[in-house]
């Protein structure tokens, strides 16, 4: 079960320690992700050049690899950063955006898994299922499966890779292959704001940078994303104002408000 005292402590720790999160992410997500990390109190860096991966990784509290807009040079940078983080025993979060949409995406995700050994894998239902079953096809970067449909695939993936696997959706799930926790906060309007999932992966990295338990860090990050999304949607006329209200609430939400709103 979610420990609300630890959830509150993690939010406070991010604001006090401002961990550096190294994001190798896509063009669509960069601005939103960086602003969300700043709003919650973390320090984002978006670095992609393979030549600086080892140096950047050495000073980062966590690495987030997002395969949303792939090209050969970026993949080389992802692999270099992931290997460097793994070699020093650091935290890597993989977001396998669009896995199952094309063979290249699925193959790239598995290359990163096999060579970089990510600590946490976070994706939507279709992406997680596609990593386990090559016959599963996703609808571009959008999920064609409910998060609940992917629970067994997530457990298999966790056991196969040793990573904590997080599924985002109407209900969020976190599993290590044996234990599974769920969170039910959020709003359907969040699906109409691009890069919300990508930002969730970076938020997981921020929490994992200050909490040595990757299962707990994943659960806490997804709790924050769901609560803030739900509260922001209540004061938003549509997706445009949701984006603004979401970032404002990341900045203003108190630990007490977070733990009083979170649901499992």
Band of pLDDT at residue 136, cut at 50, 70 and 90: low
Are 116 and 83 contacting, i.e. CB atoms less than 8 angstroms apart? Answer: yes
Indicate the pTM of the whole model.
0.95
Residues 240, 224, 58: CA angle, nearest 5 degrees: 100
Q: How confident is the model at residue 145 (pLDDT cuts 50, 70, 90)?
A: confident
Determine the Cα–Cα distance for residues 43 and 49; give it in Å rounded to an integer: 19
Answer yes or no: is pLDDT of 26 > 70.
Answer: yes
Position 48 scores a pLDDT of: 94
Question: CA 56, CA 45: separation in Å to the nearest integer?
Answer: 9
Kindly state the average pLDDT of the residues 64-86: 97
If DSSP codes are grouped into helix, strand and coil, which group holds residue 212?
Answer: coil
Which of 18, 12, 79 minimizes the C-alpha distance to 45? 18
What pLDDT is attached to residue 223?
A: 98
Residue 137 scores a pLDDT above 70: no
Domains and CATH numbers, the chain: 4-261 (3.40.1190.20)
What confidence category does residue 146 fall into, taking pLDDT thresholds of 50, 70 and 90?
Answer: confident
Rounded Cα–Cα distance for residues 35 and 153 (Å): 32
Residue 139, pLDDT score? 53
């Amino acid at each position: 079960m979610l420990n609300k005292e630890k959830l509150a402590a993690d939010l406070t720790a991010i604001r006090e320690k401002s961990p550096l999160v190294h994001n190798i992410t896509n063009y669509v997500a960069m601005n939103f992700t960086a602003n969300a990390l700043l709003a919650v109190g973390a320090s984002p860096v978006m670095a992609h050049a393979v030549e600086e991966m080892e140096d950047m990784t050495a000073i980062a509290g966590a690495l987030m690899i997002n395969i949303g807009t792939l090209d050969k040079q970026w993949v080389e940078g992802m692999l270099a950063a992931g290997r460097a983080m793994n070699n020093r025993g650091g935290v890597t979060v993989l977001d396998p955006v669009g896995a199952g949409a094309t063979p290249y995406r699925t193959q790239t995700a598995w290359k990163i898994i096999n060579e970089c050994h990510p600590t946490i894998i976070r994706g939507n239902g279709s992406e997680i299922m596609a990593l386990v079953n090559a016959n599963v096809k996703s609808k571009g970067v959008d999920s064609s499966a409910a998060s609940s449909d992917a629970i067994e695939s997530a457990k298999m993936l966790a056991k196969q890779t040793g990573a904590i696997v997080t599924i985002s959706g109407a209900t969020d799930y976190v599993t290590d292959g044996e234990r599974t926790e769920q969170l039910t906060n959020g709003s359907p309007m969040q699906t109409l704001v691009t890069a919300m999932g990508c930002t969730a992966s970076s938020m997981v990295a921020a929490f994992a940078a200050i909490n040595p338990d990757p299962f707990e860090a994943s659960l806490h990050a997804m709790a924050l994303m769901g609560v803030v999304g739900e509260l922001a949607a209540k004061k938003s006329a549509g997706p445009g104002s949701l984006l603004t209200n979401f970032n404002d609430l990341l900045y203003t939400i108190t630990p007490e408000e977070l733990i009083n709103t979170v649901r499992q």
